[in-house]
């Protein structure tokens, strides 16, 4: 039920995407499109995010760092930001959903991942805090399902 509702909201937001410009107080995603920072969780390391359009709806993020089981871990994901959950004069909280791929050296695993999360974009400050929940399906060397969490901060330029 939850997944069906989430897909409905995402599809509905895609229709809204074509209905004119969005008024934004934060510069992240439209004036400042490239962010770099740190992430903790899965992995513990560096993260980057680039918005692909000037409306802040479509982005690609990637992280590289130490895996919690040891070794290296990396992922890259496409993210769709349907609409902000909260917008005030001080901050904006958009949510995102997306998917991509991952690899880890601890168990020599590669696979696909889905992610959903929240960003906190502070008005007049190029700083973004984020939290993501993701599911991972390892496809090689053997199939397996996992759940992960990450949080961090990015500076946008």
Per-residue pLDDT 10s for the chain (157 aa) are 433 443 444 444 444 443 333 445 578 888 899 999 999 998 999 999 999 998 899 999 999 999 877 899 999 999 999 999 999 999 999 999 999 999 999 888 999 999 999 999 998 899 999 999 999 999 998 889 999 999 999 999 9
Q: What is the CATH number of the domain that holds 150?
A: 2.40.160.20
- For residue 35, the model assigns a pLDDT of 97
Cβ neighbours of residue 131 closer than 8 Å, sequence gap 6 or more: 117, 118, 149, 150, 151
**Strand 72-80 relative to strand 84-87, pairing:** unpaired
Q: Containing H/E element for 30?
A: none
- Number of structural domains found in the chain: 1
| Distance (Å, whole) CA 3 – CA 102 | 22
- For residue 29, the model assigns a pLDDT of 82
The residue range of the domain holding 41 is 2-156
- For residue 15, the model assigns a pLDDT of 42
pTM check: above 0.85: no
What are 72's two structure tokens?
A: 């290296």
- For residue 25, the model assigns a pLDDT of 59
Sign of CA dihedral 46, 150, 117, 125: negative
Q: Containing H/E element for 14?
A: helix 2-16
């Amino acid at each position: 039920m939850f997944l069906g509702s989430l897909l409905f909201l995402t599809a509905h937001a895609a229709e809204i995407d074509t209905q004119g410009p969005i008024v934004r107080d934060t510069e992240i995603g439209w004036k400042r499109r490239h962010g770099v920072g740190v992430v903790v969780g899965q992995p513990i390391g560096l993260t980057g995010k680039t918005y692909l359009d000037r409306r802040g709806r479509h982005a690609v993020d990637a992280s590289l760092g130490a895996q919690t089981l040891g070794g290296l871990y990396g992922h890259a994901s496409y993210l769709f930001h349907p609409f902000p959950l909260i917008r005030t004069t001080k901050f904006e909280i958009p949510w995102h959903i997306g998917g991509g791929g991952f690899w880890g050296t601890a168990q020599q695993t590669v696979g696909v991942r889905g992610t959903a999360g929240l960003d906190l974009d502070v008005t007049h400050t190029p700083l973004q805090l984020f939290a993501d929940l993701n599911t991972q399906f390892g496809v090689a060397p053997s199939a397996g399902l996992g759940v992960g969490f990450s949080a961090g901060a990015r500076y946008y330029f």
